[in-house]
Amino acid sequence: MEDEFNYQAVPYGYTHCFNTHCPKGEKCLHHLVAMHSTNQYPTLSVVNPNCIPEDANSCPSFHPIRKIRVAWGIKHLLDNVPHKDADSLKRMMLNHFGRGVYYRFYRKEKFIAPEQQEYIQRIFRQKGITDQPIFDSYTEEFEW
């Protein structure tokens, strides 16, 4: 998993943990981020070493390393949907996500999280469309 790590994908302000003695460090996203930090940023958000508990099992900063399958792009999402349903589905997505987010999905500037994919699948089913929505592409991303 470390071979694939892209430090540029770390959200701004994400907390780094430099505790090298933590027994849960290999499974913690905060520690993984710290181990891949670069000199690009002179200041970082870090876990205060004075606040690290004696018992690492009770660390409030622990965040397990997990990846989620995200979708990118909705340019062809409605291609195989009847026109009357396509217009209605687009309107429903615009109302739910907002115009800005909808077009960021469209231009692949923002990924479509699993919950958002489920919403789109749900409105497809409401319209009687049994085919799964097909997005432009899929990737595995860290769950921040």
Tell me the C-alpha distance between 3 and 67, whole Å.
Answer: 14
Residue for token pair 């390393």:
65
* pLDDT in single tens digits along all 144 residues of the chain: 445 789 999 999 999 999 998 999 999 999 999 999 988 889 999 999 888 888 877 899 999 999 999 999 999 999 999 999 999 999 999 999 999 999 999 999 999 999 999 999 999 999 999 999 999 999 999 999
Tell me the C-alpha distance between 143 and 92, whole Å.
Answer: 27
Tell me the C-alpha distance between 142 and 22, whole Å.
Answer: 21
Domain ranges of the chain: 2-58, 67-142
Nearest of 48, 20, 44 to residue 32 by alpha carbon: 20
Which two structure tokens, joined as six digits, stand for 10?
């770390």
Backbone dihedral region for residue 108 (phi beyond 0: left; psi -120 to 50: alpha; all else: beta): left
How does pLDDT run across 10-24, given as a tens digit for each residue? Answer: 999 999 999 998 999
Q: State pTM to two decimals.
A: 0.79
